[in-house]
Amino acid sequence: MSLALFDLSGKRALITGSSQGIGLALARGLGGAGAELVLNGRDAGKLSAAAAALRGEGLKVHELAFDVTDHEGVRKAVDGFEASVGAIDILVNNAGMQHRTPLEDFPADAFERLLQTNIASVFHTGQAVARHMIKRGAGKIVNICSVQTALARPGIAPYTATKGAVANLTKGMATDWARYGLQCNGLAPGYFDTPLNAALVNDPDFSAWLEKRTPAGRWGKVEELVGTCIFLSSDASSFVNGTTIFVDGGISACL
Residue in 81, 106, 159, 231 annotated catalytic:
159
Which of the four pLDDT bands, split at 50, 70 and 90, describes residue 165? very high
Q: What is the CATH number of domain 3-246?
A: 3.40.50.720
Overall average pLDDT of the 148-167 stretch: 97
pTM of the model: 0.97
For 191-202, how does the pLDDT look when each residue is reduced to its tens digit (9 = 90+)?
998 877 888 899
Overall average pLDDT of the 163-182 stretch: 98
For 92-108, how does the pLDDT look when each residue is reduced to its tens digit (9 = 90+)?
999 999 999 999 999 99
Overall average pLDDT of the 203-210 stretch: 95
Query: Which residues fall within 8 angstroms of residue 49, CB to CB, at 6 or more apart?
Result: 19
Long-range contacts, 68-76 (Cβ 8 Å, 24+):
68/16, 68/17, 68/40, 68/95, 68/117, 68/121, 68/124, 68/125, 69/116, 69/117, 69/120, 69/121, 69/124, 70/124, 71/120, 71/124, 74/121, 74/124, 74/125, 74/128, 75/124, 75/128
Domain boundaries, the chain: 3-246
Q: Is 159 a residue of the active site? A: yes
Average pLDDT of every residue of the chain: 97
